[in-house]
Amino acid sequence: MRFYTLDTVFTFGRHQGQTVSQVLVENPGYLNFCLQVLDHFALRREDIEAWQQQYPRLQEQMTDAAWQKLDEKESHLQAELERQQAADDDNDDYDSGDYYSRDDADRDTFDALTDGQYGDYDDFNGDFDSLRDAMGY
């Protein structure tokens, strides 16, 4: 879903190549149509309310069904943003070292590579080049 602004250029339909502001002058009902029919098309409520002063025909063209669809799209977007934020917060906790330290991850990698045959991780000071030399690589 994409939120259009006055400067957004239509890349589809009969107004392809025109900006939203041009369509508002020529055919504001087209925005009403796009809001109701196209899942990828969205406008922000506060933008529309501001545009209604500059483009009075828009207020006449906006139907209740278009306002309802707009509300659905905004709530859907808000829920998606909250899900993404929660996922990002979970990832931030993991990446920040709350679950493991870099040293622990290197230790696990060392153990997996050597199976204990080349001594302890600390013997190589965490230097994988030295480990590779000891292993003959």
Question: Above 80 in pLDDT, residue 46?
Answer: yes
Confidence bin at 105 (pLDDT 50/70/90): low
Q: CA neighbours within 13 Å on the CB side: how many for 4?
A: 27
Residues 87 and 107 placed together within one structural domain of the fold: no
Q: Which two tokens stand for residue 70?
A: 């707009």
Confidence bin at 3 (pLDDT 50/70/90): confident
| Most confident of the ranges 24-38, 85-99, 117-131 | 24-38
Q: How many CB atoms lie within 10 A of CB 54?
A: 11
Confidence bin at 14 (pLDDT 50/70/90): very high
Residues 38 and 68 placed together within one structural domain of the fold: yes
Q: Which two tokens stand for residue 60?
A: 């006449």
What pLDDT is stored for residue 137 in this prediction?
66
Residues 111 and 86 placed together within one structural domain of the fold: no
What pLDDT is stored for residue 26 in this prediction?
92
Question: Above 60 in pLDDT, residue 58?
Answer: yes
Residues 26 and 63 placed together within one structural domain of the fold: yes
Domain that holds residue 128: 102-135
User: What rounded mean pLDDT belongs to the chain?
Assistant: 81
What pLDDT is stored for residue 2 in this prediction?
83
Q: Which residues pair with 9 in a beta bridge?
A: 19
Q: What sign does the CA torsion over 6, 9, 11, 17 have?
A: positive
* Cα(42)–Cα(5) distance, integer angstroms: 9
Residues 86 and 107 placed together within one structural domain of the fold: no
E-strand spans in the chain?
A: 2-3, 41-42
Residues 91 and 108 placed together within one structural domain of the fold: no
Total domains present in the chain: 2
Question: Above 90 in pLDDT, residue 19?
Answer: yes
pLDDT higher for 61 or 100?
A: 61
Residues 49 and 82 placed together within one structural domain of the fold: yes
Residues 61 and 7 placed together within one structural domain of the fold: yes
Residues 59 and 117 placed together within one structural domain of the fold: no
Residues 73 and 109 placed together within one structural domain of the fold: no
Residues 88 and 113 placed together within one structural domain of the fold: no
pLDDT higher for 40 or 89?
A: 40
Residues 38 and 7 placed together within one structural domain of the fold: yes
- Angle among Cα 116, 124, 100 to the nearest 5 degrees reads 75
